[in-house]
Structure 1
Amino acid sequence: MYDRNVDKKTLTFQVSGMLWQRSLVMRDLETQSLWSHLLGTAMQGKMKGSALEILPASMTTWGEWKQRHPQTTLLALPRTAKRFTESVWKNPAAFIYGITPHAGTEPIAVAMPLLQKQKLIQAKDKGEFYLFTFSDKGKRAQAFSRVLDDKKSSPPLVFQLSQEKGSMRDTLTQSTWDIVTGECTKGQLEGKQLKLLPGTVSFKRAWETFFPDGTMVK
């Protein structure tokens, strides 16, 4: 998901009908520039070289989201659209969950089968400390920073799955955290929140094409 405000302009996007590297190409109506949906950058036209700001987003079932956020309304959903259900993961080996470049960091991803199996995966890459989580309910993947409040002087937290379903504990204080929201719900750090990172579900082949030098967690 992206912020569509660029250089003080609010852009309106549509599907261009073209593919690049077998992936969707977007077009903005204001300048007719062409954009890569995975990179979020303009590849051709007046906006060439411009980049959209990446925003954190979640891919989950409507039921799981509605339970957590009962006041949510839908912006738009075509009547012909197929429902997103857990069946999309019948072939998880085709997918990864990746963190796209932001604020100077490099792309890093984890294979979906590994994330589904372990539920928690922690990684360090180029000075950044990452936590990937997976919830069976809604088949929801998330990514967080393990450094609280973005304080580089703070030690990165290390997490373990908790016996309480849908939660985890940090080994430093044994506080309990929600595996989906990254919020500490009980313990010394109650009320603290892990920073949610702008991750995305992608076909593994597409990710490797667009980010050939990115890190793949194993």
Structure 2
Amino acid sequence: MRLAALIGALVLPVVPAAADPSFWRHEWPNTDFTRTSIDNWKEILSGGPPKDGIPSIQDPEMVAASGENRIAPREPVITLELPGQTPRAYPIRYLTWHEIVNDEVGDVPVAVTFCPLCNSGIVFDRRVDEGVLSFGVSGKLRNSDMVMYDRETESWWQQAIGMGIVGHFTGRELVQLPSWMESWAEFTQRNPDGLVMEQPSYPRSYGRNPYVSYDSSHRPFLYSGELPPHDIPALERVVRVGNRAWPLTRLADLGEVREAGLVISWGAGQASALDSGRIAKGRDVGTIRVRDASGKDVPHDVMFAFAFHAFFPDGTWMLGG
């Protein structure tokens, strides 16, 4: 798992795998490397595990939230509430070890994704053109963010922006669906009849955080890009909506911000998944909700500041004042 690579990086110099399509073709014979938006292949590094070394989940079993007793109240889940469908929770205790869940909610095929190294948790619609894609974990990183791949064309996709970066779907953008991270207690209190993803049948230490104290680090793992401006710590969480970013510390101080046609609220009670050795014991980072003026949930991401700066170098920092 990536844990071994992370520990190795803290002890020994990291020697990146050769950044060259000719080196990758034996593992990726169906990927069209002649089509790419990448200017410098050295931006793509091995995160440690090989292709599918972190196994994504296909068609997860969903169970009644009322019967789930393994998830602690403060543990984070990704919540998805699609119109006309029973609300669903995807626990970070599982996504930490699988990173992608391919599910279908009603007639909407979705990919629930979580990149621990960027704290980026996003839900995408898996429909592209006339087909439905199924996503896996490539084992590659770019700007410390997970590179996904689709099993249909083996194109590579950047998780933080939902964009095809190598192969047949280069330049295509997945549709992001409104979702948010909140505590298990918040989900169950609002949705007592909701559904939750069942624990996968893999030998993993679900509930354990293999990235202990990562969100207190000074520098990201396998990242050599510019650090954020305005003296914002690299691993401070920011709320990204489009190409704007609000520091979480500002939102926590104010409780609510009304800017750029949005209402962004913060409330205490959610544990960091990247702090303590047990996710349930992580420090309180709170829950963010982003809505428009009419109260409708808006697609967003709560990611680390370095990742926002890497993927949105010309983005706007919403610092107030």
Is 2:72 the partner of 1:72? Answer: no
Is 2:126 the partner of 1:4? Answer: yes
The structure 2 residue matched to 1:205, chosen from 296, 306, 319, is 306
Structure 1 residue 145 displacement after superposition:
1.6
Other structure's SS at 1:54 match: strand
Other structure's SS at 1:2 match: strand
Q: How does 1:85-164 map to 2 (within 5 A)?
A: 91=216, 94-100=236-242, 107-124=243-260, 129-138=261-270, 139-146=286-293, 148=294
User: What is the distance in 2 between the residues matched to 1:12 and 1:22?
Assistant: 22
User: What is the distance in 2 between the residues matched to 1:123 and 1:26?
Assistant: 33
Is 2:206 the partner of 1:81? Answer: yes
Tell whether the 8 Å contact from 2:239 to 2:246 is kept in structure 1 after alignment: yes
> Counterpart of 2:315?
214
Aligned pair in 2 of structure 1 residues 5, 34: CA closer, same or farther (>3 Å)? same
**134-143 or 208-217, which moves further after superposition?**
134-143
The structure 1 residue matched to 2:156, chosen from 31, 34, 56, is 34
Q: TM-score, normalised by structure 2?
A: 0.46
What are the superposed Cα offsets for residues 184-212 of structure 1, whole Å, 9 maximum, x if unpaired?
A: xxxxxxxxxx1211011101100111011
> Counterpart of 1:183?
none
Q: TM-score, normalised by structure 1?
A: 0.67
Q: Name the aligned partner's letter for residue 144 of structure 1.
A: R
User: What is the distance in 1 between the residues matched to 2:214 and 2:169?
Assistant: 36
Aligned pair in 2 of structure 1 residues 20, 90: CA closer, same or farther (>3 Å)? closer
Size of the aligned set, in residue pairs, is: 160
> Counterpart of 1:173?
none
Structure 1 residue 68 displacement after superposition:
0.8
Structure 2, unmatched stretches of 5+, are 1-122, 217-232, 271-285
Q: Name the % identity.
A: 29
Structure 1, unmatched stretches of 5+, are 101-106, 149-193
Structure 1 residue 88 displacement after superposition:
8.7
The structure 1 residue matched to 2:167, chosen from 33, 42, 45, is 45
User: What is the distance in 2 between the residues matched to 1:211 and 1:131?
Assistant: 22
